[in-house]
Amino acid sequence: MNYHILKKSGLDGFIRALARKMKVCAPVAKGYGNYAFEEVSSAKDIALSYIPTILPPKKYFMPQRERLLEFDISGEKPAELAVVDAPEMAIFGVHTCDLAGIQCLNMVFSEKPADRNYLRRNEKALIMGLECNGYCDGHASCALVGAHYPNGGYDLFFTDLGDRFIIHVNTQKGEDVAEGLKLPRATPADMAALDKVREEKRRVFQNEIGVDPALLPAIFDRGMEHKVWSELGGRCVSCGNCTNVCPTCYCFDMADTINLDMKTGHRTRTWDSCQLENFAVVAGGENFRKLRAERQRHRYYRKFKYPLEKFYRFFCTGCGRCTRTCMAKISLKETLKALAVGHGGRI
């Protein structure tokens, strides 16, 4: 696909042009060093330099709470109506770690039976990535998992070249937008400037924990009984913050609500967390992960081992959200370092 150029002075016009056609969401400063994806109408509201938002953009594809089904059994033939709320929208400024998260969820929800609600929302969204030319903060581990470079999952991808953005077009939808707004094509000088940015990134972004990522599967193979899990279990407060902010966690609970007429109602899907004590409780009261140490271990294995066996990729994108939001100050990077000790995992 092509590369286009957008002057920074033209970003406001770009956002306003999109906002006339659809809802536009982008990272917005919320105070105290926090950011969130919210609806915007102009570029002045957008934070172009930000640490990962409180919640990842997955909230637009898999809402925290959504109505899936409405039913009515009052007639001779019970009626069921599937509910799919999928408005056309644009999401601007998505970092590569969150693009990787969207790719992970795309694979999960495309498996049979496919999740039509998620896939329909994803299909209706115009996703515009924004490159990180430097680290967001010390909690990030995106270079470890290779999520610091763009690798798909977007329609348009913006890289800051100083006074302008160079935009990589990845889909026909993105090309239609670029051509419709008459964005000029990138020149050889623009491509050279992009190469220079990427060269500098190779210097800045280094493996953050000194563990060869190729050795992580073997480290986790041998780490089931590692003492680090009991240490984390002693600190964890089972709040579920780490999973709620994770761009690749997708566990949910289902509940049917019956109206007072006892004939109509609806089915709701709500985010759930493997870190909550009752998550793994089954009929009879048996809890397969009763201990906090077991739940913490499960969370890490769901990022660094189980997805490799099924999807051939890590489900940690290195965004650092779990560490930033943990009330017990549990650090993903420090946990991985502890696991590698004694297992020959150091680079």
Residue 104 tokens, joined: 């992970």
Is the pLDDT reported for residue 25 higher than 80? yes
Structure tokens at 257: 């609500």
* List of E strands, the chain: 3-7, 23-31, 34-39, 65-72, 79-82, 89-94, 125-130, 156-160, 164-169, 252-258, 264-271
List pLDDT tens digits, range 204-261.
999 999 989 999 999 999 999 999 999 999 999 999 999 999 999 999 999 999 999 9
272 pLDDT more than 90? yes
Is the pLDDT at 85 greater than 90, yes or no?
A: no
The pair of structure tokens assigned to 56 is: 């990842």
pLDDT tens digits for 294-341? Answer: 999 999 999 999 999 999 999 999 999 999 999 999 999 999 999 998
For the chain, the structural domain boundaries read 3-204, 213-340
